[in-house]
């Protein structure tokens, strides 16, 4: 974590007493740490202990010693904002845009990724408002570090216990990309829709936004991989220095670029929503309304890029495909895994609210060629990308 800047936000929960240990782990790993606390958090853990360990002043109030505490610069300073423990109250305020303490002001103005480790008693954890608030945070792009089952402050045993400090540390290490597990590897990612021209003004397309593919490219690059992102028509643009983005329009152009880069790639993730059919003949002039009531456009199949790469694949390459299904999901996903010679298939079901096209969240099940299957919760697309990258790393 050498040189990485972590802003740690602590809210009022008994789990706050563990935070000095986490600060120590970050500092020992070479990170710079600043701490911002809610006033309630100071009842559970000493600001003096945190400032001593972080070697920085702890920010507690919107104004301190007659001067205004610059929450905007706190959020801009950080490479990552971790809010741990995040109480039900703080999560609710974050989801609703409240700004009545310094931690919330820093959250609202943070420009860096935000990771949230909730902590609360099981009944609060199970309350639908908390579930909805977490979904809201994920829709903003924040990543939730799921609580676990265990002993709670109430004396009960159940869900809601904050993830262990070591788990949070490993999660942040991955999110910052400091583990660099893919250093020296190269990866190819397809993303977005394709547009198949019908005439000079019309095309066959789909609603894919390219956000899932961009999130995967970012996650791979954060782990140190050199990434080629082949993007169909979309507004999203990669900014990571390890990502080279190639913009294409049609399935044929995406195929050509993918095949050209595949042999140099250790990893290929095909997340694009490629058109399955294109017009057999593209009209050179705009098709005019004719006297007849109907219009038939003859379509022909495009080449399946994933399947083509599956045929070219060597034992040293990892190939990941997606399956977007509306029914009989598992059967179709397993069929695609086998027929396209993929190592992993990431299934999106159109029946899951919050998953799929044009959303900032996704809910996936990952099928592995070794027969295993993992079903994940609804998460932000960047959190789903971390899960996909974790899975493919186990295969490398
Ligand atoms: N895919 C591809 N080239 C195509 C069509 C699909 O590379 N011409 C890839 C997608 O990028 C995805 C996977 O194949 O990784 C599955 O895409 P999906 O649309 O779910 O399935 P299809 O194979 O197109 O089959 P169907 O539409 O019948 O479900």
| 145-151 contact pairs (CB < 8 A, 24+) | 145/84, 145/115, 145/116, 145/117, 145/118, 145/171, 146/377, 147/117, 147/118, 147/119, 147/120
**C-alpha of residue 382 to centroid of ligand 1, in Å:** 22
Beta-bridge partners for 323:
347
Joined together, the tokens standing for residue 144 give 């939730």
Say what the pLDDT of residue 151 is.
87
Q: pTM (2 decimals)?
A: 0.80
What is the C-alpha to C-alpha distance for residues 133 and 95, in angstroms, rounded to an integer? 5
Which residues have a catalytic role annotated? 206
Residue of higher predicted confidence among 81 and 396? 81
**Mean predicted confidence (pLDDT) in 54-83:** 83
Cis peptide, bond prior to residue 85, ω within 30 of zero? yes
* pLDDT score of 314 more than 70: yes
Phi/psi at 60 (nearest 5 deg)?
Answer: -120, -35
DSSP structural state of residue 321: E
When pLDDT is cut at 50, 70 and 90, the band that residue 65 belongs to is low
Residue 160 pLDDT? 93
Highest mean pLDDT: which range of 71-75, 107-111, 310-314: 310-314
The response to whether residue 321 sits with its C-beta less than 6 Å from ligand 1 reads: yes
pLDDT-based confidence at residue 178 (cuts at 50, 70, 90):
confident
- Owner of token pair 């972080």: 54
- What integer pLDDT is reported at residue 66 of this predicted model? 63
What mean pLDDT is predicted for residues 301-329? 97
251 CA: nearest ligand 1 atom = 8
Is 251 close to ligand 1, i.e. is its CB under 6 Å away? yes
> Does residue 71 surpass a pLDDT of 80?
no
- Tell me how long the chain is: 396
Residues paired with residue 82 on neighbouring β-strands, in sequence order: 8, 115
Instruction: State which ligand 1 atom lies nearest to the alpha carbon of 332.
Output: 29
Q: What number does the ligand 1 atom closest to the CA of 307 have? A: 7
Q: Tell me, in angstroms, the distance from the centre of ligand 1 to residue 244's CA.
A: 23
The CA–CA distances, whole Å, from 82 to 5, 29, 192, 395 equal 11, 16, 30, 29
Q: How confident is the model at residue 352 (pLDDT cuts 50, 70, 90)?
A: confident
113 C-alpha to ligand 1 centroid (Å): 31
- pLDDT cut 70: percent of the chain above it: 98
Tell me which of 191, 195, 305 to substitute to probe ligand 1's pocket, judged by most ligand atoms within 8 Å of the beta carbon.
305
The reply to whether ligand 1 has any atom less than 6 angstroms from the CB of 78 is: no
Lookup result for tokens 């993918």? 258
pLDDT at 354: 73
Taking the centre of ligand 1 as the mean of its atom positions, its distance from the CA of residue 298, in whole angstroms, is 20
Q: Phi-psi region for residue 177, left (φ > 0), alpha (ψ -120 to 50) or beta?
A: left
Averaged pLDDT, 65-80: 79
Indicate if ligand 1 lies below 6 Å from the C-beta of 254. Answer: no
Average pLDDT over residues 349-372: 85
Give burial (CB, 10 Å; 0-12/13-18/19+) of 241.
exposed
For residue 336 and ligand 1, the question of a CB distance below 6 A is answered with yes
Rounded Cα–Cα distance for residues 141 and 62 (Å):
25
The answer on pLDDT for 161 being more than 70 is yes
Give me the mean pLDDT over the 153-172 stretch: 92
Q: What's the CA-to-centroid distance between 201 and ligand 1, angstroms?
A: 26
pLDDT at 359 over 80: no
Confidence of residue 69 (pLDDT cuts 50, 70, 90): low
For residue 111, what pLDDT is reported?
Answer: 87
H helices of 97-184, in order, are: 102-109, 122-126, 128-139, 165-176
Note the pLDDT tens digit of each residue in 195-254. 999 999 999 999 999 999 999 999 999 899 999 999 999 999 998 889 999 999 999 999
Report which protein residue has its CA nearest ligand 1's atom 12. Answer: 322
Q: What is the pLDDT of residues 262-278, one digit of tens each?
A: 999 999 999 999 999 99
Of 104-108, 139-143, 229-233, 248-252, which range is least confident?
Answer: 139-143
Q: How far is CA 113 from the centre of its chain?
A: 10
Nearest to 231 by CA among 205, 187, 192: 192
44 lines ligand 1 (CB under 6 A): no
pLDDT band at residue 343, thresholds of 50, 70 and 90? very high
Residue 153 confidence (pLDDT):
84
What are the counts of helices (DSSP H) followed by strands (DSSP E) for the chain?
Answer: 13, 24
Residue 130's pLDDT is 96
pLDDT at 325: 93
Average model confidence (pLDDT) across the chain: 93
Q: pLDDT grade, residue 387 (50/70/90)?
A: very high
For ligand 1, the distance from its centroid to the CA atom of residue 89, given in whole angstroms, is 43
């Amino acid at each position: 974590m050498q040189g990485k800047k972590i802003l740690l936000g602590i809210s009022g929960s008994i789990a706050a007493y563990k935070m000095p240990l986490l600060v120590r782990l970050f500092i020992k790993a070479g990170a710079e740490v600043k701490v911002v606390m809610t006033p309630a958090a100071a009842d559970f853990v000493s600001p003096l202990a945190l400032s001593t360990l972080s070697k920085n002043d702890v920010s507690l109030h919107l104004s301190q010693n007659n001067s205004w505490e610059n929450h905007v610069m706190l959020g801009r300073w950080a490479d990552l904002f971790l809010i741990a423990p995040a109480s039900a109250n703080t999560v609710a305020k974050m989801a609703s845009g409240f700004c009545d303490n310094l931690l919330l002001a820093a959250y609202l103005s943070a420009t860096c990724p935000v990771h949230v480790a909730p902590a609360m008693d099981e009944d609060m954890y199970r309350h639908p408002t908390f579930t909805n608030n977490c979904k809201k945070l994920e829709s903003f792009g924040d990543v939730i570090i799921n609580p676990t089952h265990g002993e709670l402050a109430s004396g009960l045993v159940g869900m809601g216990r904050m993830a262990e400090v070591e788990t949070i540390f490993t999660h942040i290490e991955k999110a910052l990309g400091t583990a660099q597990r893919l250093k020296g590897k190269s990866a190819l990612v397809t993303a977005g829709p394709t547009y198949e021209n019908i005439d000079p003004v019309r095309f066959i397309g789909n609603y894919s936004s390219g956000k899932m593919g961009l999130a995967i490219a970012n996650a791979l690059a954060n782990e140190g991989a050199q990434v080629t992102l082949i993007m169909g028509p979309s507004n999203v643009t990669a900014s990571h220095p390890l990502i080279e983005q190639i913009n294409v329009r049609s399935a044929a152009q995406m195929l050509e670029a993918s095949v050209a880069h595949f042999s140099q790639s250790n990893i290929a993730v095909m997340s694009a929503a490629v058109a399955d059919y294109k017009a057999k003949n593209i009209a050179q002039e705009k098709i005019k309304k004719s006297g007849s009531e109907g219009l038939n456009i003859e379509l022909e199949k495009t080449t399946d890029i994933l399947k083509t790469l599956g045929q070219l694949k060597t034992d040293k390459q990892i190939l990941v495909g997606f399956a977007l299904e509306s029914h009989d999901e598992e059967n179709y996903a397993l069929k695609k895994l086998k027929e396209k010679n993929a190592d992993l298939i990431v299934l999106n079901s159109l029946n899951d609210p919050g998953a799929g096209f044009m959303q900032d969240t996704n809910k996936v099940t990952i099928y592995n060629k070794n027969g295993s299957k993992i079903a994940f919760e609804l998460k932000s697309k960047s959190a789903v990308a971390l899960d996909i990258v974790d899975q493919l790393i186990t295969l490398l």
